Structure 1
Amino acid sequence: MSIEKYDLVVLGSGPAGFSAAMRAIDFKKSVCIIEANHLGGAGIMNGALTSKAMWELSRDFSIASSVTRGYRASGLNVEYDKVQKTVIQAAKQKQLQMLSQIETYSKASENSGNITLKYGWGKFLDSNTVEIISHDKIEQVKGDNFIIATGSRPRPMPDVEVDNERIIDSDGIMNLKEFPERMIIIGSGIIGCEYATIFSNYNQTEVHLLDRQHKVIPYEDDDVSDFVSKGLEKNGVIIHHTANLRTIRKRSDCLEVVLDYQDGHSKVIEVDVAVVAVGRIPNLDNLGLENVNIKTTERGYLDINEACAIDNFKSCNIFAAGDVSGHAQLYSVGELQGRFIVEALYGNLEFPLDYSNMSTLMFFKPAVAAVGLNEKACKSQNIPYKVATYSNSLINRAIAMRASDGFVKIIVSDDGENRILGMRAAGPQASTLITSIAYQISQKGTLKDIRKNVHPHPSISEGVQECLRVFEGKSIYKPQAFPDFIKLESWHPEVVKENS
């Protein structure tokens, strides 16, 4: 049996694997992509793209059905199967773009490398050989270097059996045939809150959200968590704070959900569908890691160094990128790591990997964006800081849009240097606002560096401008006049010690 040989073998075609493969053809390398399931991984199907397509459609429906803007749409209705069809069309569009590029580079040329896509499950036989098991054949490929980019899957919940019919996880959302009348979402992190937003936007489903703690999105600061909670409740979501799931009983006509609360009382509710959204775990099963002496960390991830190598970069030819690496499970992180590995192997690195300015978008109502440190992180690291918050209620563009529910929150160091440490933004165009601050964080920027920027009017970004002016007492609208809309606070480790 002849065995094909490649410069680079990539396990997984998600954002990390696909971006690595595409960067490798820039270096005129031969690449084999091995994909066990959907092309694009969770970045396309059952993940980032499909869930955001669902969110966009639900937001459009929510705006169209609003009666607070001086108009009323008549005859407005929604059908889940048609929404589902539109979402799948979006995913297919991206998959066809990926396939088109793979086919374009399926043959080597003088100006680029070439890519071969093989469907099946890849398993290491040794440090230079991977076996590919598909439904109709088994084959082997060899490579000089390998990237494990197999992504992640929904985390199972003890004693809860996911059948992806009535008890589903995020992969099973697309299995639904219609809008459930009643739904409970177990888990109040980003995934849980996003789906609570989506289904409540359509106003077809009574949505319950199970929050084991006092706050949704518990790793964020309390003001951000409270903002998200209020937005969900305003949208009709019933949040069960400090509640634990005891059991789900399957009845012929419903699911009977038993909740135990922190104060000792219990509650039984009936729903039609339960969504398990308690996080994700890496896809590392049956990869043959034992054949190449690779062990996972206590948390089940691959331990990578600053070059994303699983061992010493100079002596190791196996790398990892994306969700399996144990870093933030973000599309942008996986994409950056995949490109970085290839540049480390075949090119000259211009800069090291920097995770400090990785932006996060949370698709709630309204959307929330985050980058850099929050107050909790600053306190845990004993970093003195100042924090200014400026409400969208004072921003002309937001007022004109009738979308003033939101804010800009910026954190800077309070050590005389005024370094930009982090930002949280909520409301329209939050994803755009966060980019400029992410750049300043990566460039070690300060208030002095960015305060002279002039923003166009009317624009949402004027909120960033005014928030920065708050630090110096130069904002046009003053916190003395609008204490609920403008805030400036500071924190120092020594002050806490003195008061304790």
Structure 2
Amino acid sequence: MSIEKYDLVVLGSGPAGFSAAMRAIDFNKSVCIIEASHLGGAGIMNGALTSKAMWELSRDFSIASSVMRGYRASGLNVDYNKVQQTILQAAKQKQLQMLSQIETYSQPSVTCGNITLKYGWGKFIDSHTVEVISNDKIEQVKGDNFIIATGSRPRPMPDVEIDNERIIDSEGIMGLKEFPERMIIIGSGIIGCEYATIFSNYSQTEVHLLDRQHKVIPYEDDDLSSFVGRNLESNGVIIHHTANLRTIRKRPDFLEVVLDYQDGHSTVLEVDVAIVAIGRIPNLDNIGLENVGINTTNRGYLDINEVCATDNFQSCNIFAAGDVSGHAQLYSVAELQGRYIVEALYGNSEYPLDYSNMATLMFFKPEVAAVGLNEKACQKRGIPYKVATYSNSLVNRAIAMRATDGFVKIIVSDDGKDTILGMRAAGPQASTLITSIAYQITQHGTLKDIRQNVHPHPSISEGIQECLRVFEGKSIYKPKAFPDLIKLETWKPEEV
């Protein structure tokens, strides 16, 4: 059996693996990508792209069906199968773009590297050999260096069997044939709240959301959690706070869901579909880690160092990127790590990996974005801070858009340096607003560094400008006149 040899072998074609492979082309390297399922991984199919495409379509439908803007659309209806087709078209478009680039660089060249795509399950035989198992053959490939970028999958729930028909996880949503009449979503984190938003936007489904805590998105500050929860409820979602799932009983025509509440009472619900959305776990099973002496952490992830190398002296040529690395499970983190590994291997890394400016986007109604520290994190670390909040209802562009539900919240250090620590934004264009503050966090920016920036008018970003002016008492609209819309607070460890 002939064995192919490559400079770099990548397990997984998601954002980490694909970005690493494409960066290796720039260094004139030969690359083999091994993919066990869909090209692009969960970043494309059954994950980021498909769920966001579904959110965009649901938002458009929600706006079109609104009667609060002076017009009313007639004859508005929605077909779930056609929605699915549109979502699949979006995923296929991106997959074909990826495949087109792979084919473009599939032939050896003296001016750039080349890429080979192999479909199958990759398993380490030793630190320089991977076995690729597909339906029709088994082959081996060798590599000088390897990147484990196998991504993650939905976390299973004890005693709840995913049947992909009535009890599903996020990977089973595209398998639904129609809008369920009644649904319960188990889990009130980002994934759960996003799907609660999507299905409630269509107004075709009675949506229940199980929240084990007192507030959804419990790791965020109470003001943001309350904002998200309040808007979910106004969108028609029924939130069951402080509830635990006891059991799901399958009846011929429905699911019987038993919830136990913190105060001791129980509730029985009838639903048609249950979605389990309690997080994700890394895909590290059966890839031969034991053959190269790599162990997982107590949380089930790979332990990597500052250059994403696995913490193992036997296999110092094996790296890890993306969801398997134990860092935030974000597309941007995966892509950054994948590129960084290749640059560390074949080039000169100009800067160390920095996760402090990795923004999180939450596709709710309205959208929410977060970057850096929140108040809970600052208090946990004992960091004195000042926090200003400025409502979108004072921002001219938001008023013109008739989309004033939202705010900008910025946190700076209260140590005389006024270092930008974090930001939370809710409302239209929140995903774009977060970028400017993310950059300031990377550059260790301060109020002094950014207060002279002038934002265009009318723009949503003027909310950032005014929020920053609040710290210095220079905002055009004053907290005294609008105490519910503009706030400035401070916190110091000794005040606790």
Q: Secondary structure at the match of 1:147?
A: strand
2:233 matches 1:233? yes
Partner amino acid, structure 2, of 1:110: V
Structure 1 CA distance, aligned partners of 2:467 and 2:312?
45
Partner amino acid, structure 1, of 2:143: G
* Structure 2 partner of 1:11: 11
> How far has the Cα of 1:343 moved from its partner?
0.2
* Structure 2 partner of 1:244: 244
* Structure 1 partner of 2:149: 149
* Structure 1 partner of 2:442: 442
Identity of aligned residues (%): 87
Partner amino acid, structure 2, of 1:323: D
Q: Secondary structure at the match of 2:286?
A: coil
Conserved 8 A contact 1:307-1:313: no
Q: Secondary structure at the match of 2:68?
A: coil
Where does 1:208-223 land on structure 2 (aligned, <5 Å)? 208-223=208-223
* Structure 1 partner of 2:64: 64
Conserved 8 A contact 1:124-1:292: yes
Conserved 8 A contact 2:293-2:314: no
> How far has the Cα of 1:110 moved from its partner?
2.1
Where does 1:20-419 land on structure 2 (aligned, <5 Å)? 20-311=20-311, 316-419=316-419
Structure 2 CA distance, aligned partners of 1:217 and 1:12?
30
Partner amino acid, structure 1, of 2:276: V
Structure 1 CA distance, aligned partners of 2:315 and 2:159?
43
Structure 2 CA distance, aligned partners of 1:112 and 1:314?
31
Structure 1 CA distance, aligned partners of 2:332 and 2:411?
23
Conserved 8 A contact 2:208-2:239: yes
Structure 2 CA distance, aligned partners of 1:487 and 1:135?
61
Query: 1:370-393: CA deviations, max 9, x gaps?
Result: 000000000010000000000000
> How far has the Cα of 1:494 moved from its partner?
1.4
Structure 2 CA distance, aligned partners of 1:133 and 1:20?
22
> How far has the Cα of 1:301 moved from its partner?
0.1
> How far has the Cα of 1:311 moved from its partner?
2.6
Structure 2 CA distance, aligned partners of 1:103 and 1:314?
34
Conserved 8 A contact 1:181-1:272: yes
Structure 2 CA distance, aligned partners of 1:54 and 1:144?
41
Query: 1:410-433: CA deviations, max 9, x gaps?
Result: 000000000000000000000111
Structure 2 CA distance, aligned partners of 1:215 and 1:68?
29
Equivalenced residue count is 496
TM-score normalised by L of structure 2: 0.99
Structure 2 CA distance, aligned partners of 1:143 and 1:99?
22
Give unmatched runs, 5+ long, in structure 2: none
Conserved 8 A contact 1:391-1:406: yes
Q: Secondary structure at the match of 2:184?
A: strand
Conserved 8 A contact 1:393-1:406: yes
Partner amino acid, structure 2, of 1:492: K
Give unmatched runs, 5+ long, in structure 1: none
Structure 2 CA distance, aligned partners of 1:313 and 1:217?
39
Structure 2 CA distance, aligned partners of 1:297 and 1:61?
44
Tell me: CA distance 1:312–1:443, structure 2 relative to 1, closer, same or farther (3 Å).
farther
Q: Secondary structure at the match of 2:171?
A: helix
* Structure 1 partner of 2:478: 478
> How far has the Cα of 1:473 moved from its partner?
0.4
Conserved 8 A contact 1:121-1:134: yes
Query: 1:40-64: CA deviations, max 9, x gaps?
Result: 0000000000000000000000000
Where does 1:481-492 land on structure 2 (aligned, <5 Å)? 481-492=481-492
Partner amino acid, structure 2, of 1:484: D
Aligned CA-pair RMSD: 0.8
Structure 1 moving runs of 4+ over 6 Å: 312-315
Conserved 8 A contact 2:292-2:315: no
TM-score normalised by L of structure 1: 0.99
Conserved 8 A contact 2:294-2:312: no
Conserved 8 A contact 1:373-1:421: yes
Structure 2 CA distance, aligned partners of 1:419 and 1:75?
53
> How far has the Cα of 1:107 moved from its partner?
0.8
2:429 matches 1:426? no
Structure 2 CA distance, aligned partners of 1:2 and 1:108?
18
